[in-house]
Amino acid sequence: MSECKRIFVTGGCGFIGSNFIHYALAERSDIEIRNFDNLTYAGNLENLADVESDARYSFVKGDIADRRAVEAALEGGFDAVINFAAETHVDRSILDAGDFIRTNVLGTQVLLEAARSAGMVRFVQISTDEVYGSLGATGLFTEETPLAPNSPYSASKAAADLVARSYFRTFGLPVMVTRCSNNFGPYQFPEKLIPLFVTNALAERKLPLYGDGMNVRDWIYVDDHSSAIMAVLEGGRAGEVYNIGGGNERSNVEITRAILGILGKDESLIEFVRDRPGHDRRYAIDSSKIERELGWRPAHTFDDALEATVRWYVEHEDWWRRVRSGEYMEYYQKQYGER
């Protein structure tokens, strides 16, 4: 087990990062977290308003691709980096891949270099199952599945994984890469399937299903991803890749019908639209390595977690309306001064 008490978390204002920070502060009384985030459209400081006054937590606004900003924010000494920061939305990467390459590839290299210079004992690179490409009707992604990314987003994540690997092989930096499947839960930006469809349905707007709606993802509740990351941080082997999945394969049509069912809304809200270019057909994860080596298991069942998630958006209408209107962007200035 590695003693990691001072953690430099990047991208902590996004969906998974903010859930992880909540999880880590609740689960580890002696942990200290600095959240380094550039506050792109996906970064929402309001997600962490409840921990702002916690002495174990601090926030620094900055860009992971800016070496000086990273070095300055690392002042004081940290044991580990957990790199969540990324451009993450596949559809945006199809419209313009530039920021994906800069943040996801260059930004990761800048962080790896900073961690190496600082002599850190852990570096957890948060990657994705999308680096493996697309599966046919059967089979699962294992850690040995060849990388075959199909979108500019997944290509940039695959590139980052390989740069991370090189920092382990060449410099001995204790890097671990996690590759997780599709997450869902609170605080997810309403451009991703589940929060988009829940909030559209609540507003009586159409739910745009791509293609035939039969693409399959392996869904995991975000807290189960957080517990897996904690297990890798504390017990993972340096230089290793760990797949993380919920074991919940669902087609997009199934997810959509489940959401409409929970909300009591009519299926006439579904609208089939033009398919996403290069749309991966199916993802499914073999998590047996992390289960075997680190004793990790998902704690949530899909149906209960989906229902709880849908309820969260119903009960936090103020949150998603502020996101949709752009008002959440004003929070940093209010709390911290000039943006």
Q: Does 88 bind ligand NAD (CB under 6 A)?
A: yes
The option from ligand NAD, ligand DAU, none interacting with 252 (CB < 5 to 8 A, set by class) reads ligand DAU
Largest Cα–Cα distance of the chain, in whole Å?
57
Which pairing describes strands 32-37 and 57-61: parallel, antiparallel, or unpaired? parallel
> Could you count the other beta carbons within 10 Å of the beta carbon of residue 327?
12
Q: Does 217 bind ligand DAU (CB under 6 A)?
A: yes
Q: Does 64 bind ligand DAU (CB under 6 A)?
A: no
**Of the candidate residues 4, 8, 9, 11, the single one contacting ligand NAD (CB under 6 A):** 11
Closest CA to 254 of 276, 282, 234, 292: 282
**Of the candidate residues 189, 283, 313, 331, the single one contacting ligand NAD (CB under 6 A):** 189
Determine which one of 129, 161, 249, 280 is catalytic: 129
Sequence-separated (6 or more) residues with CB below 8 Å from residue 162: 147
The option from ligand DAU, ligand NAD, none interacting with 43 (CB < 5 to 8 A, set by class) reads ligand NAD
- Is 153 an annotated catalytic residue? yes
Q: Does 229 bind ligand DAU (CB under 6 A)?
A: no
Q: Which one of the spans 26-34, 62-70, 247-255, 260-268 is the region binding ligand NAD (CB under 6 A)?
A: 62-70
Distances in whole angstroms, Cα of residue 56 to Cα of each of 10, 40, 80: 16, 24, 15
**Coil, helix or strand for 160?**
helix
Note whether 53 and 27 are within 8 A (CB). no
Residue with tokens 């199916």: 282
User: What stretch of H or E contains 27?
Assistant: helix 15-27
The option from ligand NAD, ligand DAU, none interacting with 38 (CB < 5 to 8 A, set by class) reads ligand NAD
- Is 130 an annotated catalytic residue? yes
**Of the candidate residues 37, 46, 63, 130, the single one contacting ligand DAU (CB under 6 A):** 130
Q: Does 40 bind ligand NAD (CB under 6 A)?
A: yes
Sequence-separated (6 or more) residues with CB below 8 Å from residue 293: 235, 236, 237, 242
Known catalytic residues are: 129-130, 153
Residues that bind ligand DAU (CB under 6 A): 88-90, 128-130, 181-182, 192-193, 196, 208-210, 215, 217, 252, 276, 283
